[in-house]
Amino acid sequence: MKVHLNAPITSERASKAGVCEAEKCALCRLGPDSIGHLGTCPLVINAYDQIRAGARLPPLINGRNVLMLQEHTEGAERCALIAVFAAAWGARSTGRLLETRMTGAELADLLLTSLECPWLNFCQPTRNRKERRVMRVKAPQPIGDSQAVYRSDGACRGGTKLTGWGAAYWAPGTQGLGESTATICGHVGLGSTNNIAEYRGVRAALRRAFQEPSEPCLFEVDSLLVAEHLNGRWTCRQPDLRMLFTECRAALDGLTRRGQPWTLRHVYREFNTTADQLANDGADLQGGVGALQASALW
């Protein structure tokens, strides 16, 4: 019923919404990561054949057709098949954590255990928020030697409402590693928002990029909203962000017009620690004197 009413989120489905890139099947590592493939995955079919006799299940060629009610199956057999593919979906989570391909015997053992002891699926403690994040965090793609790297961030203290932004620059050849070449941070003020602070950080990075017209630029932000806005995949409708969005988008268009290559991408905050610290430093600053701090090279 879950497949019929609201299909589980796979990377293929998420990629169509522009949220992430599509991945390979976490079980066989060959086909796409989709519900359609799960029903015909050769590893799942092989594991099914291994447990079929003991579980008294019917022969199976295409599980998707059964789940989608495109093939006639008796009620009890259909329930058993649904249980098998529910277990296969659970095994998919395990497969995503493995660095090597799961074998047919290993998958068959997981499916059989789930069928014989279904309560095991519910007696384990649910992953907390931190554990779920650790599972989905992925390192960004390597950075080229010729690229200048800019990382920016914003911070908003929930209790005090102090808001700050920060940006850091790494010269070409560093690949964004080690100590940054230049930094800057500032204080936005009370009553602002984290998204405004995020945009302030990007704006500072873009302003510096115009000082080095010959450098291909890579801008990294840990705000998915800002990344999708500036890459044109999401529309910026928030009134308080429109002016900053327009200014940053115009700056990117300016880089393009003068032939300066650039890329702007989202990274997880675990890979944006320098800018994160600068944003928090900016939040600690007070207005007036000291509202902006920059290294001599910025």
| Helix or strand run (H / E) with residue 264 | strand 262-266
Q: Residue 120: what pLDDT?
A: 63
Q: Among candidates 150, 248, 254, which has minimal Cα distance to 200?
A: 248
Q: Residue 122: what pLDDT?
A: 56
**Residues 6 or more apart whose Cβ sits within 8 Å of residue 143:** 149, 175, 176, 218
Q: Say what the pTM is.
A: 0.62
Domains of the chain: 2-136 (no CATH), 148-294 (3.30.420.10)
Measured in degrees and rounded to the nearest 5, phi and psi for residue 182 equal -150, 150
Helices (H) and strands (E) counted in the chain, each on its own, are: 13, 6
Q: Residue 160: what pLDDT?
A: 65
- Which residue in this structure is represented by tokens 């393009």? 256
Which segments within 100-235 are labelled E, that is strand? Answer: 148-156, 163-170, 182-187, 217-221
- What residues in the chain have per-residue pLDDT under 70? 1-7, 19, 55, 61-64, 68, 99, 118-128, 159-160, 286-291
